[in-house]
Structure 1
Amino acid sequence: MVLFVASVLVLLVQVVCKSPSVQRPTSQPLPIVHKYYQSGDLLIAGIVSHLFKFSDAVKFEECPSPSASDSLVYISRSYTYHAAMELLSTKGRFIPNYKCDNQNNLVAVLGGPKSNVCLYMAHILCIYKTPQLLYGSAPVLNNKKEAIFLYKMFPSWANENIGIMKLLLYFRWIWVGVIYVDNEHGQQFAQKVLPVFSERGVCFDFVTNFPAVTFSSYFPEMVEGNNDLTKLVMGSTAKAVVVHGEIQTIIVLRIMLRVAEFKEIPMRTKAKVWILTAQMDFTSTELQRSWDLDFIHGALSFAIHSREVVGFGQFLRERDPASEKEDGFIGDFWKQAFGCSLPSITKAITDEPVCTGEEKLESLPGSVFEMSMTGHSYSIYTAVYVVAHAVHAMYSSMLKHRALADGGRNQLLRQQRWQFHEFLKRVSFNSSAGDLVSFDENVEIAVGFDIINWVTFPNKSFLRAKVGRMDPKAPKDKVFTIHEDGIIWPHMFNQVQPLSLCNDRCLSGYSKRKKEEKPFCCYDCLPCPEGKISNLEDTSDCFRCPEDQYPNTNQDLCLQKRISFLSYEEPLGISLASSALSFSFMTASVLGIFIKNQDTPIVKANNRNLSYILLVSLLLSFLCALLFIGRPEKVSCLLRQITFGIIFSVAVSCVLAKTIIVVLAFIATKPVSRIRNWVGKQLAYSIVLSCSFIQTTICTVWLITSPPFPDFDKHSMTEEMILKCNEGSVAMFYCVLGYLGFLATVSFTVAFLGRKLPDSFNEAKFITFSMLVFCNVWLTFVPTYLSTKGKYTVAVEIFSILASSAGLLGCIFFPKFYIIVVRPELNIKGQITKRLNERI
C-alpha cells in the first residue's frame, strides 16, 4: 500500500513534445512525418490517466494532435524548454519561475526518448535540482553540475560498444560499414570507439553519418539527402553494416532503402545484415505504413535486457479511449493508428471517420503497434518503480525519525528535491519481472543487453527473437553469449551465415599479404613458401612443421616423416651386403690358396706373412661394410668407424711394408750395400705395428672425447627422418681418413719409385696400381660423401670401402692367384730366376 501511495506521488513527464497551450509559429513549415507510437507511450499515458483519478500531483505534457499533413514528431528546443518550465509553474497557469501553491510539488521527471530532448530538458530542470530519469539516449553533458541530476535507465554506451565489437569478431565480420547519427554520441562513436575496433582487427569500407533531419525537411528533400548515402551503402561490398542511432533513425534507414529500390540498384548489393544499437527501435511514419518490412528481416540489434511483465498485455487490451477522459494522448494515438477520430474530438471536423469504439489494439499490425513490451517500454516501466521505491524509502525514513508532522503527505512533498537524490541513488529492488534494479557509480542502470534477431512475416508483423546476451556482470567467459543456430539471416543469404570481408578468405596453404593503399584487412593470398604450411584460413604467415613432420602437397597439413636408414630389406642394402659377402668369399679363397701353396716361390716372395696379414685385413674390411647396413644402434655406431679405421690402417700399413721391403731388397743386392742388414721380417712387422698403433691411438682419443652415437637427421630430407650414426667429432673422423690417406700416399710414392723393378720378382708395379686405385677411391669419396643425403651417404661409404679393398685385392693378389691356379708351371724358382736374369 505504501508503494502504491508513493507511486501516486510521482510526477511522470514525457518531455518529447510541447505543451498544448503553446502555439506553433506560423513562419515555419509544418512537419511531414509522424512516428507511430509504441507500447511505452501508452504505458506512460495509462499510468498518468490512472493516477489522475487519485492525485493531482501528476502532470503529463503531450503534443497536440498533428494535422493530416503532419508526419514527423514536432521537436523544437524552445517548446521543450517551455514544457519543462510549465512543470515548475502553478497548475493551469504558466508563470516562469513562480509557483503560488504548495499542493503540487515536482518529485521527479521521466524524459526521453531522444538525447537532444533530454539535453534541453536538463538545461532547465537541473537549475532546480530536479531528478531526471532518462529512458532513452542520455545526452552528453560537459557540465558536471547538470550531469549529477540525470539517472540513466538505459545501460552504458561503453558496454554496448563492446558488445558490438564482440559480435563482429564472433562472426568474423572484419569488413563493415558504419552509419551514425550526427550528434555528440555518434561523433564520439566514430572518433573514439571505431579506432578501438580497428585495433581488434575490424576495418571499415565506409564511415558516414545520416543526413540531418529537421522539422523543415519535406519528404522529397529527405529522399534527395539520402541519395548519396544510398549509393555509398548499397554499392559497398560490406555485408555487415553498423547503424548507430536513436529511436527515429529507423525511419531514415527505411527511406534510404526505399531510394535504393527507385534507383534500381541490383538486389545482390542490398543483402546486408543491419546491426542496430539499443537506442534505436522500430518506428514508422504514416507514409511508410504500406511499405514492406523485409528490410529488417535478419537484422541483429541490441536491446536493454528485459523480461515479460505479467499483465502488460492485458493492460493494453483493456485500453478504452472512451473511458480515459483524463488521457488526452490516447485520442491522438487512436487517430494515427486506426485512421478515425474519437467522438469527443470530432465536433469541428466533419470529413473524418468517427471511431466505433470496437477498435482493438491487437488487430494492428506490428509495423503500427507492438503488443509486447519493447526496450524503451521496459525502461519506462522500471523508471516508474525506481521513483516509487525512492519515494517509499524517503517516506519510511521520515517515519523512522518521527519527522512527520500534521499533514504528513504535504510534509513529504515539501522535502527539498536535492534530498530526494540520495534515496534515488541507493535504490535497489527486484522488479516484478525478477530483475535486480540498481544504479552503478555512474548513475546508470546496472543491466545488460539482449541481442535480438528480427524476423518479419508477409502480414507486416515481425518477431523479436532473443539470440544472445551481453552481460558485463557475468563471468569473463560468459560476458558475451550468442546462439548462432537460432539466428534467421536475410533471405538473400539462403540461411547461410554471411561473410563480410574485403576479399575472399585465404585458404589453408596460403598466407595474407597486405594490398598497398588499402585498409589492413584487404590482402592478397600467396602460396606458402616451400617447407612451410598454413592449416587455417586467413593466416598472416606460414609456419614450419615440427622437425619430425613435413608439409603435404597442398601445404595445409603436416605429415609424419618416415624413418629412413640403409636396411637389409631394400634392394640397395641387399646389393651392398651381397657384394661385401662376395668379396669376403673371394678374399677367403685367395687366403686359402695362398696357405695351401705357402711353400711355392711366388707365395714366399716378398714376405708371405705380410701377405697373410694383408689378406686377413682385407677380409675384415669387406665384412666391416656389413656394420654400416641395418638400423644404427649405440654399439654398431661405435664399431663402424673405429673398426673401419684400424683395419684399413693395418691393410695400408702392410702394403707400405711390402713396398719398402721390395725397394730395400733390390738395393741390398748391391755388394757394398749395408741395407741388407735391415731387410727382414722385423722391419716389416715394425712398420705394420707402428703405423697401426698411431691409427689406434687416434681412434682411442675419438672414443674418449666424442664417440659416435645414433642420431636423427630431420632436415636433410623433406619426407624422411634419417636414422644415422652421428660421428660425434667430425674432426676426429677426418683425422682417421687423413691418416689413411697419408699412409696410402707414402705407399704410392715408394711404389712408384720402384715401378721399374723386375715383375717376376717384386710387386712394386702392382702396388703402384693398387695405391692409385685406393687413393682415387677415397679422394672421390670426400665430395661424394658431403653431397649425398640420407642412407645414400652410408651407401657411398660402403662402396668406397668395398672398392678400395677390392682394388688392393685385385691389383696385388690377382696376378699371383692367376699363376698359382692357372699357370702353376711358372710358380717355380727356375722360371723366376730365368726371367730375372733376362731382365738384368
Structure 2
Amino acid sequence: MENSSLLNGLRLAHIWLIFVAFGVSDRVKNGALAINCTLQGTARMPAFSMDGEFIIGGVFSLRYKEITKIHSYTIVPEPPTCTGSVNSRELRLARAMIFAIEEINNSTELLPGIKLGYKIYDSCASVSVATHVAFQLSNGEDPVIQTGHNCSNLGVVMGVIGASSSTPSIGISRIFGPFNIPLVSHFATCACLSDKQQFPTFFRTIPSDHYQADALAKLVKHFGWTWIGAIYSNTDYGRNGMASFLEAAHKEGICVEYTESFYRTEPQKIQIVADVIRRSTSIVVVAFTAAGDMKFLLEELNQQPSPPRQWIGSEGWITDLQPMRFSFSAGAIGVAIQQSVIPGFGDFLLRLSTSEVAASSVLTDFWEEAFNCSLKKTLSKEKRLCDGTEDLVTLKIPFTETSKFRITNMVYKAVYAIAHAIHTAVCQETNFTTTCIKQKTFDKNQVFTELKRVNFTQNGYHVSFDANGDPVASYDVVNWQKPESGIIELVTVGYYDASLPKGQEFRIYKNLTWLDGDMQVMKRVQHCSSS
C-alpha cells in the first residue's frame, strides 16, 4: 500500500507539473512585495459559463470520447480535447445545473441579492480530461493573477458538481482535497469514495454502491435464485460494486457460477464474456455495469442470441433507453434512483431557441445531430439548412425525456446543497431580514465546512450528508415490461429503503414481467450446483 500511495503521489505531481505549473514573479508595489502567478499552458474553456459573485463548477461527459494525440515533447503538449457525438443525457444534466442556478438567482430566500455563476466543462468521460478540468477549476482562467503576498488563493470555485462516474470523480477528488474544494457528485457511486481519509471533500446526492450491492443481493434472494452469473464493468464503479455484491450475495447463500469483467473499448473481451453467458447453466445474470458498457455487450449478444437470460441490473444501466431496444432483454429487473418531479424544468429543457443554440458550440452540434440539419451557411451534401421549424418536442431522445427525472434530480439537489452551504457562510439573519456579503475575501473553507452540515428539503426531497458525505440510501425497483405495443417500458414495481428496520428495507408491490413474459415468479428457480 505504501508503494502504491507513493506511486500515486508521483503521478499526481507529474500531472501537476504538466497541466498547471505556475511561473512566479515578484515586484514592489506601494512598498510591499507583490507576487504575480502566471498560468503555464493553454486554458481550457468551459462549455457553458455565466459570471456571478460566486461560481459553481460543473463536470459532465458531454461528448463520448477524447481525441487521441501522439506527443513528440519537442513542443508543449496541447491540452486533451473531446470529440464525437453529444451525449444528450449528459447535456440534460448540465442543463439541470443551469436551471437550478437560475432558479436560485431568482429566489428571495436563498442567497438574496447574490448572483451565482457557473463554469461547466466537458470531461468526455476521460480521466485525463477530467484531471485537466479539475486543475482548471482550481486555478481559474486568468493567465496572470496578482495576489499580493502568495499564489495560494487563486480563482477557486465555491464547489463543483460532478463527475458522472466514479473513476473521473476519484481523480478530481484527489486534486480538490488539499484545497478543501468540495465535489458533489450526482452519479459517482463507488463505495470507495466514502473513505474520508482519501477523499475528504467528496460528497454525493446519489447513494453509495455499498447499499446498491445489498439491495441487488436481497432482490436475487427474494425470488429464490441461488445459482447466478455475474458480470461487471472493468472500472472503479464495476470492480468495487461487484466486490460488494459478491460479499452480500455470499451472506444471502447465493452461489455464483462465473464472474466476468469487460470494458466498452475491448471488443475481444466483450465477445468472450458473451460466449460465457451463452454457455452458462445459470439463467440469472447480475450485471454491475455502466450503460455504455452494457450497450456493447447486448449488441454482441444480439449477433448470436443466447438462451433466455433473466437480467438483474445496477442503476448504472437499468434506466438507460439504449439497452431497452434489445427485445431479448425484456423482463430485466434492477434498482434505480427514485423517480422525481422538478417543476418547470421540462419547459426549460424544451424551449431552447435557435439563437441560444447558435451561441454554443455544444448546443449547435447537439441541434445539428438531433435534426440532421446545419445552422451554418456552408452546407454539406448530407445536411439541409436548419429553417427554424425544428421542435425538440418531436424528438424521442434522453434529452427530451421530461416525465421521469432520476439522475437529473441528483444534479438539482447537488446544486442546492452547495448554494445552502454558501448561504450559511456569507449570509446573516437580522431583524427578520437576510443580509449576504458579496465580497470574495471570506475564508472559502467555510463552504466546505458548511456543506457537511446542510439539512434542508427542496421540492419535497430531503438533502443531507452523513459523516462519509453520503445521503440516506433509497431506490426504486424497476422492471422492463413489454406491453402489446412490443416496445419495452420501464415500470416501477417496488422499493428499497436502507433507513427502514432490518428485514423491511425491500418490498415488491406490483406484478413483474419475466424473461418468458409470465406475470409471475419464474418457475425455473435454480439452486447452488454441487459441482
How far did 1:133 drift?
0.2
Give 1:76 shift: 3.1
Q: Does 1:452 align with 2:512?
A: no
- 1:455 touches 1:465 (CA, 8 Å); kept in 2? yes
Quote how far apart the aligned CAs of 1:273 are. Answer: 2.3
For the residues of structure 2 that align with 1:478 and 1:359, how far apart are their CA atoms? 49
> CA 1:500 to 1:367, structure 2 compared with 1: closer, same or farther past 3 Å?
farther
Among candidates 24, 28, 40, match of residue 93 of structure 2: 40
Distance (Å, rounded) in 1 between the aligned partners of 2:199 and 2:314: 23
Q: Contact 2:67–2:82 at 8 Å: present in 1 too?
A: no
SS at the partner of 2:476? strand
Indicate if the aligned counterparts of 1:174 and 1:203 stay in contact, CA closer than 8 A.
yes
1:161 matched to 2:213:
yes
Q: Confirm or deny that 1:239 pairs with 2:283.
A: yes
Q: CA deviation at 1:450?
A: 1.0
- Counterpart contact for 1:9–1:55, Cα < 8 Å: yes
- Whole-angstrom distance in 1 between the partners of 2:144 and 2:296: 36
Aligned: 1:408 with 2:437:
yes
Counterpart CA distance in 2 for 1:320 and 1:159 is 42
> Which runs of 5 or more structure 1 residues have no equivalent in the other structure?
1-5, 64-73, 504-520, 525-840
Q: Is the 8 A contact 1:46 1:327 kept in 2?
A: no
| 1:364 aligns with one of 392, 395, 417 | 395
Alignment pair present for 1:469 and 2:499: no
Match of 1:82 in 2: 132
Identify unmatched segments of 5+ residues in structure 2.
1-50, 72-79, 107-113
Determine whether 1:173 maps to 2:228: no
Letter in 1 for 2:442: Q
1:275 equivalent to 2:312? Answer yes
Residues of 1 paired with 2:484 and 2:392: CA distance? 19
Number of the residue aligned with 1:135: 186
Q: Is the 8 A contact 2:97 2:415 kept in 1?
A: no
Residues 258, 338 of structure 1: alpha-carbon distance in 2 compared, 3 angstrom cutoff: farther
Residue 348 of structure 1 deviates from its aligned partner by 7.6
Q: Does 2:345 match 1:312?
A: yes
* Equivalent position to 2:519, from 495, 500, 509: 495
Deviations 1:280-324 (Å, cap 9, x if unpaired)?
355578xx9xx9342442211211224222223222222334235
- The secondary structure found in structure 2 opposite 1:478 is coil
Whether the 8 Å contact between 2:189 and 2:207 is mirrored in structure 1 is no
User: Is 2:462 the partner of 1:436?
Assistant: yes
Describe how 1:608-623 pairs up with structure 2 within 5 A: none
Say if 1:176 and 1:240, in contact at 8 Å, map to a contact too: yes
* Alignment pair present for 1:302 and 2:328: no
State the Cα distance separating 1:83 from its structure 2 match. Answer: 1.5
C-alpha change, 1:450 and 1:339, in structure 2 (3 Å) is same
How big is the shift at 1:381? 1.1
Shift of 1:102: 8.8
- Residues 187 and 9 (structure 1), Cα distance of their counterparts in 2 relative to 1, 3 Å cut: same
Shift of 1:48: 6.7
Q: 2:259 aligns with which of 185, 207, 211?
A: 207
Partner of 1:315: helix, strand, or coil?
Answer: helix
- Structure with max Cα Rg: 1
Distance 2:62 2:176 in 1: 16
Listed as ranges, the matches of 1:758-797 within 5 Å are none
Residue 59 (1) aligns with residue 119 (2): yes
Alpha-carbon offset, residue 156 of structure 1: 2.3
| Corresponding residue number in structure 2 for 1:198 | 250
Work out the CA distance in 1 between the residues paired with 2:353 and 2:152. 33
For residues 475-525 of structure 1, the C-alpha deviation after alignment (integer angstroms, 9 at most, x for no partner) is 44531111242x2333x344342245446xxxxxxxxxxxxxxxxx2369x
2:239 paired residue number: 187
CA distance in structure 2 between the partners assigned to 1:277 and 1:32 by the alignment: 26
Contact 2:478 2:491 in 1 (8 A): yes
Q: Choose which of 107, 110, 116 in structure 1 pairs with 2:161.
A: 110
Confirm or deny: 8 A CA contact 1:298 1:488 kept in the other structure. Answer: yes
Paired AA for residue 121 in structure 1? I
Which amino acid in 1 is paired with 2:493?
V
What is the number of equivalent residue pairs in this alignment?
461
Whole-angstrom distance in 2 between the partners of 1:368 and 1:457: 24
Per the alignment, do residues 180 and 255 of structure 1 end up closer, same or farther by CA in structure 2, a change over 3 Å counting? same
Q: Deviation per CA, 1:703-742, whole angstroms, max 9, x where unpaired?
A: xxxxxxxxxxxxxxxxxxxxxxxxxxxxxxxxxxxxxxxx
Whole-angstrom distance in 2 between the partners of 1:90 and 1:191: 38
Quick one: higher RCO (CA 8 Å, sep 6+), 1 or 2? 2
Of 422-431 and 44-53, more deviation after overlay is shown by 44-53
Question: What residue is the counterpart of 1:422 in the other structure?
Answer: 449
Rounded Cα–Cα distance in structure 2 between residues aligned with 1:122 and 1:414: 24
- Check conservation: 2:194, 2:468, Cα contact below 8 A: no
Q: Is the contact between residue 36 and residue 283 of structure 1 (CA under 8 Å) also seen in structure 2?
A: no
Question: CA–CA distance in 1 between the matches of 2:229 and 2:525?
Answer: 11
Secondary structure at the residue paired with 2:59? coil
Q: Which amino acid aligns with 2:272?
A: D
How is 1:685-704 mapped onto 2 (pairs within 5 angstroms)? none
Q: 1:56 to 1:23 in 2, by over 3 A?
A: farther
Confirm or deny: 8 A CA contact 1:10 1:57 kept in the other structure.
yes
C-alpha displacement of 1:453: 1.6
Q: For residues 166 and 194 of structure 1, what CA distance do their matches in structure 2 show?
A: 12
Inter-partner Cα distance in structure 2 for 1:239 and 1:24: 40
Match of 2:356 among 296, 319, 323: 323
Superposed CA offset, 1:318-371 (max 9, x none): 23342356654322322333333334xx65867533333333333223577523
Displacement of 1:56: 7.7
Aligned to 1:566: none
Q: TM-score, normalised by structure 1?
A: 0.49
TM superposition shift of 1:45: 5.1
Q: Provide the rounded CA distance (Å) in 1 between the counterparts of 2:361 and 2:101.
A: 10
The structure that is strand-richer by fraction is 2
Contact 1:293–1:460 (CA<8 Å) still a contact in 2? no
Q: How does 1:684-833 map to 2 (within 5 A)?
A: none
Of residues 91, 94, 109 in structure 1, which corresponds to 2:141? Answer: 91
Contact 2:230 2:260 in 1 (8 A): yes
Write 1 or 2 for the structure with the bigger share of helix: 1
CA gap 1:479/1:42 in 2 versus in 1, 3 angstroms = same
Shift of 1:52: 11
Match among 339, 358, 369 for residue 372 of structure 2: 339
Q: Deviations over 1:766-815 (max 9, x none)?
A: xxxxxxxxxxxxxxxxxxxxxxxxxxxxxxxxxxxxxxxxxxxxxxxxxx
Distance in 2 between residues matched to 1:170 and 1:258, nearest whole Å:
29
**Alpha-carbon distance in 1 for matches of 2:373, 2:168:** 29
Once residues 393 and 46 of structure 1 are traced to their aligned partners in structure 2, the CA distance between those partners, rounded to angstroms, is 22
Whole-Å Cα distance in 2 between the matches of residues 130 and 52 of structure 1? 22
Distance 1:299 1:284, change over 3 A: closer
Aligned to 1:390: 421
Q: Distance in 1 between matches of 2:453 and 2:392?
A: 38
| Separation in structure 2 between the aligned mates of residue 236 and residue 279 of structure 1, nearest angstrom | 24
C-alpha deviation, 1:397, in angstroms: 4.3
- How does 1:224-235 map onto structure 2 within 5 Å? 224-235=268-279
Q: Deviations over 1:109-143 (max 9, x none)?
A: 00121111111212222232100001112453597
Structure 2 counterpart of 1:480, from 506, 509, 518:
506
Q: Is the 8 A contact 1:197 1:203 kept in 2?
A: yes
Residue in 1 that maps onto 2:173: 122
